[in-house]
Structure 1
Amino acid sequence: MYWETSGAPDGVPAVWLHGGPGSGLGAGGYRNRFDPAQNLVVGLDQRGCGRSRPLIVDDLGSLPGLTTQRLIADLEALREHLGIERWIVTGASWGSTLALAYAVAHPERVIGVVAFAVTTTSRDEVDWITEGVGRIFPKAWAAFEAASGRHPGERVVEAYARRLADPSEEAADDRARAADAWDAWESTHVSLDPAWQPGPLHEDSVQRAVFGTLVTHFWAHDAFLPGDEAILARTDRLAEVPVVLIHGRHDVSGPVITAWRLHQRLPHSELHVVESEGHGGPVAVELTREAAARLTAEAARNVRDIPDA
C-alpha cells in the first residue's frame, strides 16, 4: 500500500481518503486542505489503485476479499505503523463513506470527521446514481443500460461488476468495453456540476479499468455495509465524535439528502450546503480546510490542557 506524509512531524495528524473507489491520491492537491505548519498530513492510495500494488486489474483474483472492512484494517495498520494515537479523518465522495465507516468502527481513534460530497454508498444511493438519475439523462442511460449486458433480474451495477471482475484472458476485450461504457456514464451524470469539463472522466485506459472495477465492486455490494452494518444504522457510535458535512446543492450524482439524513441522526454535527457547487469545488475545499483547522486547534488545546503526570 502506498502512503505518504507531509507537513509538521509533530503536528495534529490528519488523514485524507480519496474518492472512487479507485481514484487514487492524484497529484497531491489534497494537501491544500490542511495547514502544513499545524498538521501531520497522511495520504494513501487505497488497495488496488493509484501507486499501491498490485493494481486491481492485475490481481482480479483478490477482488472478492477487497471489502470496506479490509480498507478499514489497512487504515488501522497505517495508523499503528506511524505511531498515531488519534487523527482527524477526512474524505470526499467515496472517501467520505470510508471516513464515516472507519469512524463508526474506531470512534476512539478519531479526533473528528470532515466529509464533503457526502455519501454512505447505501443501496438507495447506488440505485439512484446507476438507474434513477437516468430520468435526467434518458438517452445516455439507455445506451449505458444496453451496454451493460445484464441478465434478467440483474441490476445494471451488478452486470458491470460481473464483467469487470472476470479474470479470464478471453474476457479482456469485454472488460475494456465495460470500462469504457462505465466511464461514459460517469462523465454524463456529473455533467450538471458547475465545474464539469467535457470529455472522458479518465483519459488513461488502465485507470478507466481500475476505477470501473473498484467502483462497481463496492457499489454492487452496498459498500459491504448491509442492513445493521450501514453507516446510517450505526450513527450512535459517532455521538462523541465531531462531524462536519459539506455538500453541493447541485450534486445530481449524490443528492444532498444523504448529508441531510446523517445530520438529522447526528444533531451535534455541522451541515454546510454549498448553493453554488456540485460534487465538490473551491468553496467546499475552503470549508474543509476551515473545519480541519478548527478540529486541529481544539485537539492542540486539549493536549496543552492535560496536566503533567
Structure 2
Amino acid sequence: MRADSKLALRTLYPPIQPYAADWVTVENGHRIYVEQSGAPDGIPVLFVHGGPGGGTSPVQRRFFNPRKYRIILFDQRGCGKSQPHASLNHNTTQHLIGDMELIREALSIDNWLLFGGSWGSTLSLLYAQAYPERTRGLILRGIFLMREREMDWFYKDGTSRIFPEAWEQFRSMVPEGEQNDLIAAYYKRLSDPEFEKERLQFAKEWSLWEASSVTLMPDEEQQAHSVDPIFALAFARIEAHYFHNRGFLKRENQILEDAHKLNGIPTTIIQGRYDSICPPSSAWELAQAMPWAKLKIVPIAGHSAFEPAIQHELICATDAA
C-alpha cells in the first residue's frame, strides 16, 4: 500500500487466496458459490457484486485489509460460479435477499458489513432494509435505485449522448420499430426460445454497451472481458430480466421511501462525478434521505470501482469502518 504522501492514491491490497470455498444449496435448484478469505475471526464483510449478473472475481477480495476482515464473496443466482448458469428461473430480488440471509446463517455470522456498487448498492440497501439488525454498516458506490428515470437514462436518452458511437451499435441491433424500448427488445431476444440461435450475439452487444461506458477513460481489457461468451450470456440475460421487471420492486421509490429503516447504520456513499451509467443525482437523493450517511463525490471518476480515485476512496472507507 502506498501511504508516503497525502496526495498518493491508495492501491489494492495484495492478492490473496480463499481459505474456504463452497456452494450453498438454496431453493428451486440453485446453488450459490460462496468463498471466504482474510481473517476467519475478522469483521465479516459481504461483497455484493453488480449487474445483476456480474459475478465476482479474485481482485474484489483486495478492497479489504486481510488482517482485519473476514472477506465473503458470493455469486448471485445464475452468474459466476453459481449454478445453473444464466438461469432466470426463480431469480428475483426477493430470492437474492433470501440467499444472502441464508449465507449469513450458514456462516454463523451475527451481523456484517455490506460493500456494494451499482446494482450491488441496490441489493445491499434492500437487504439492509429487510434486515437492519443484521447490517453493521454499508459502503456503497455508484448508486442505483432501480427507478424508471435511471433505466431511461441508460437505455433511452442520457448515456447515449455521451457515447453516441457505442449507442448506435447497441441500438441498431434491433428493428427500428422496437428501438423505443431497448430493454424489452433485448429481453425478448435473450429469453425467448425463438431467438436461441442469436442469443449469444445479443448478449455480447448488451454487455459491450455497458462496458463501453463504465470507465472515465476507455478500458479495452474491460470491453474484451465483456464479450466473453460465458460472462456475457449470464450478465445480459439476468440484467435484462431484472430491468424488464423493474427489479421486482413493489414501488418506484421503494428504496428512498424505506431509507428511514436504516437510521443509525453507519453508511458511506462514494460516487464518481462523471458516472455516465449511474449519475450522481441518485447518490445525492439517497444522502438526503439518509442524513447520517457520508457522501463523497469523487471529482475525476466514472462508474467503475477500479477508477483510481474511487478505488482510493473505497479502500479508505474499508480501513475506517
TM-score under structure 2 normalisation? 0.83
Distance across 1 between alignment mates of 2:204 and 2:218 = 22
Q: Could you tell which deviates more after superposition, 68-77 or 143-152? A: 143-152
Partner residue, 2:265: 241
Deviation at 1:135, TM superposition (A): 2.6
Query: Using a 3 Å threshold, how does the CA distance of structure 1 residues 153 and 190 change in structure 2: closer, same or farther?
Result: closer
Partner residue, 1:196: 219
| Structure 1 residue corresponding to 2:151, chosen from 126, 129, 134 | 126
Matched, 1:172 2:202: no
Partner residue, 1:269: 293
Alignment of 1:61-100 (within 5 A): 62=89, 65-100=90-125
Distance across 2 between alignment mates of 1:283 and 1:101 = 27
Contact map agreement 2:48 2:74 (CA 8 A) in 1: yes
Distance across 2 between alignment mates of 1:226 and 1:153 = 27
% identity of equivalent residues: 35
Decide which structure has greater helix share: 1
Residues 66-115 of structure 1: per-residue CA shift (max 9 Å, x gap):
11110000000000000001000011111111111111111110000001
Distance across 2 between alignment mates of 1:230 and 1:148 = 32
Partner residue, 2:174: 148
Matched, 1:115 2:140: yes
Q: Could you tell which deviates more after superposition, 219-228 or 260-269? A: 219-228
Query: Using a 3 Å threshold, how does the CA distance of structure 1 residues 195 and 126 change in structure 2: closer, same or farther?
Result: same
Q: Could you tell which deviates more after superposition, 221-230 or 129-138? A: 221-230
| Structure 2 residue corresponding to 1:49, chosen from 79, 83, 100 | 79
Counterpart residue identity of residue 315, structure 2: R
Distance across 2 between alignment mates of 1:37 and 1:143 = 46
Contact map agreement 1:195 1:277 (CA 8 A) in 2: no
Matched, 1:4 2:29: no
Q: Could you tell which deviates more after superposition, 118-127 or 237-246? A: 118-127
Q: Which runs of 5+ in 2 are unaligned?
A: 1-31
Secondary structure in 1 aligned to 2:258?
helix
Contact map agreement 2:287 2:293 (CA 8 A) in 1: yes
Partner residue, 2:254: 230
Matched, 1:30 2:60: yes
Partner residue, 2:233: 209
Distance across 2 between alignment mates of 1:288 and 1:47 = 26
Query: Using a 3 Å threshold, how does the CA distance of structure 1 residues 188 and 37 change in structure 2: closer, same or farther?
Result: closer
Contact map agreement 1:17 1:95 (CA 8 A) in 2: yes
Counterpart residue identity of residue 187, structure 1: A
Contact map agreement 2:76 2:96 (CA 8 A) in 1: yes
Contact map agreement 2:204 2:227 (CA 8 A) in 1: no
CA-atom RMSD in angstroms: 2.1
Distance across 2 between alignment mates of 1:72 and 1:151 = 37
* Displaced runs of 4 or more, over 6 A: none
Distance across 2 between alignment mates of 1:10 and 1:161 = 43
Deviation at 1:29, TM superposition (A): 1.4
Deviation at 1:32, TM superposition (A): 1.6
Partner residue, 2:52: 21
Counterpart residue identity of residue 148, structure 1: V
Q: Which runs of 5+ in 1 are unaligned?
A: 296-309
Contact map agreement 1:24 1:49 (CA 8 A) in 2: yes
Deviation at 1:251, TM superposition (A): 0.9
Deviation at 1:228, TM superposition (A): 6.1
| Structure 2 residue corresponding to 1:159, chosen from 185, 188, 201 | 185
Distance across 2 between alignment mates of 1:234 and 1:150 = 39
Contact map agreement 2:163 2:213 (CA 8 A) in 1: yes
Distance across 2 between alignment mates of 1:150 and 1:66 = 30
Distance across 1 between alignment mates of 2:145 and 2:182 = 19
Distance across 2 between alignment mates of 1:200 and 1:40 = 32
Distance across 2 between alignment mates of 1:180 and 1:7 = 34
Partner residue, 2:244: 220
